Structure 1
Amino acid sequence: MNKKMSRRLFLKSFLSFTAAGFFCSIGGYSYARYLEPKLLDIQELELISPKIPTGFNGMKIVQFSDTHLSEYYSISQLAEIKDTINGFTPDLVVFTGDLMDDPLHYSRTEEIIPHLEDIKAPLGKYAVYGNHDHGGYGSDIYAEILKRSGFKVLKNESEKVSLLDGSYINIAGLDDLILGRPDYQKTVRSFTPNTYNILIAHEPDAWIQAKKLHIDLQLSGHSHGGQIQLPLYGPLITPPYADKYTEGLYEFGSKKLYVNRGLGTTRLPFRFLSVPELTVFTLKGVST
């Protein structure tokens, strides 16, 4: 066991040294610091399920995540993302947490609200707490910003997203796994096997428990795709509760988990092979 761990530590140390050497070069540093963090990868996926009501066929859900507003992710970048989201004319918008990198010391909170408020989604705008949104008065600051922006913050609770014909899908939000008090059973207590059920959970590894419940789709962020990846190796480091699921789509029969790489950065203002992401889902029902 010790021998195995020693090999793992050696490999990780070697790769870290390699990465450090790369970032010491002018070209690599400049790309990871100034270019890739300002790129945007738009992923468009179809969600097909016989549980999706006919009225929801063709409707769009846009997910954005982990803006980490700070000196490294600006209000003007948020404004551009808002315009991009609105360009897809979404029916539903989901934010999967970590709005500000340090909410207790971020001085431009009032400037956030007009941009989030301008995001248009006739069926609703929903959000959950990320680990950076919690802590001290940070939780209250986050909740107030989202409320004033027209977002509903789901904290271990669910809502029906309904149409005029009476059909609906369910959406629920789980409190943050790191600094919150997540309660899986309370969060999904209104879910049934026959309805299409979406769970928003900041940390993707919430799926380890969530997959046992009546959940058709989980949307998460948090991982940043590792923020720095190496070819043929993947992420050097991922945060807690993003160890198993790091980015993209995971399918488990009819159930799905999607992990968005997020938009901003934390700890270090670098991205390498982990381009910021916006995800657009189109709902498609099929006959049973």
Structure 2
Amino acid sequence: MMTTIILCILVGIIFLAYHTTYVKTSTVKLTIPSVPPLTLVHLSDPHGRIRFWNGELHKLVNVHEPDLVMVTGDLTQHSGQLARVLNQLAKVKSKDGIFFVPGNYEREAGRFQKRVYSAAVSRSQKEAWQQVMTVLENESAVIEKDGSFIWIYGFDNSIYGNERHTEKEIRQANLTIFLAHSPNIISLIHNEGLKADLLLTGHTHGGQVRMFNRTVGAYKHFHIGQKEDPFVGVFGISRGTSRLPIRLNCFPEITVYMINPS
């Protein structure tokens, strides 16, 4: 009897560990006229986690040979993990760059009792991010690709109310991509009537626990994955790659957007 109980406990632990640390790849195919074929990888919410059941983060990304990589915040759980995470992202091979918007854990640390980073620590961290990625804090970047212009705008909603926007380049782009950490940004986008082809966010971790295809944990009011939206074309919310505290039926995720695949 005791042996059976121990065996059941071990099986349960392995089952939860698998759901919590095995990264799945979600592939989304999109048709967007006037841009060349592109492979875009979306990462979010690693919270310091760079190694998984099925490999290191950079290897899981590089196998897709991305043109662009988008990272939507919460790189670490605390600042002591930052160098290790950035070293991993530095190994990512993205033909046209890695683009980053900060999350709430870029502004504060701690799980139960959070403390806000000082201005000096924030500056130091931003300098470290910029060594590896293009940082967009209410800023834009424009990429020319085979004669087409890709406009990437990053909303800084790492602190609610901090997000700003500009409409300057939107009309000039063949492809417009919005980035934000929290999917709450959709309210500002709708209220302001902003337009894009793709919005990428994270923050929710997919709720971490799902039963009967429904979120049991937090953020039940947000969808998981992609849905059509009249303002941003496709609104994507990543489950992220974090493992906190456990996951069930909500695997860590790397999302690969294949735009105009040949």
Question: TM-score band (shorter)?
Answer: 0.7 to 0.9
Q: Deviation of residue 34 (structure 1)?
A: 2.1
Q: Deviation of residue 80 (structure 1)?
A: 0.8
Which aligned segments of 4 or more residues in structure 1 are displaced greater than 6 angstroms?
A: none
Q: Which residue of 1 aligns with 2:134?
A: 152
Q: Which residue of 2 aligns with 1:64?
A: 43
**CA distance 1:198–1:256, change in 2 (3 Å):** same
Q: In the alignment, is residue 284 of structure 1 matched against residue 231 of structure 2? A: no
Instruction: Report if the CA contact (8 A) 2:21-2:243 is conserved.
Output: no
Stretches of structure 1 that go unaligned for 5 or more consecutive residues are 1-24
Q: Which residue of 1 aligns with 2:251?
A: 275
For 1:214, what is the secondary structure of its paired residue? coil
The residue type paired with residue 97 of structure 1 is G
Q: Spell out, residue by residue over 1:66-100, the C-alpha distance to the aligned partner (whole angstroms, 9 max, x if none).
A: 0001xxx3x44497110111111101011111000
Instruction: Report if the CA contact (8 A) 1:172-1:200 is conserved.
Output: yes
Normalising by structure 1, we get a TM-score of 0.75
Q: Deviation of residue 216 (structure 1)?
A: 1.4
Instruction: Report if the CA contact (8 A) 1:262-1:278 is conserved.
Output: yes
**CA distance 1:225–1:158, change in 2 (3 Å):** same
Q: Deviation of residue 29 (structure 1)?
A: 5.4
Q: In the alignment, is residue 191 of structure 1 matched against residue 170 of structure 2? A: yes
Normalising by structure 2, we get a TM-score of 0.82
1:1-288 to 2 correspondences below 5 Å? 26=9, 30-31=13-14, 33-50=16-33, 52-53=34-35, 56-57=36-37, 59-69=38-48, 73=49, 75-77=50-52, 80-103=56-79, 106=80, 108-134=81-107, 135-137=116-118, 139-149=122-132, 151-163=133-145, 165-178=146-159, 181-183=162-164, 185-186=165-166, 188-192=167-171, 195-211=174-190, 212-231=193-212, 233-238=214-219, 244-253=221-230, 255-266=233-244, 269-284=245-260
Q: Spell out, residue by residue over 1:91-120, the C-alpha distance to the aligned partner (whole angstroms, 9 max, x if none).
A: 1011111000122xx2x4333333211111
Instruction: Report if the CA contact (8 A) 2:41-2:61 is conserved.
Output: yes
| Identity fraction in percent | 27
Q: Deviation of residue 205 (structure 1)?
A: 2.2
Q: Deviation of residue 194 (structure 1)?
A: 6.1
RMSD, matched Cα: 2.6
For 2:39 and 2:16, how far apart are their aligned partners in 1?
33
The residue type paired with residue 246 of structure 1 is H
Higher helix content, 1 or 2: 1
Higher strand content, 1 or 2: 2
* Paired positions, count: 241
Stretches of structure 2 that go unaligned for 5 or more consecutive residues are 1-7, 108-115
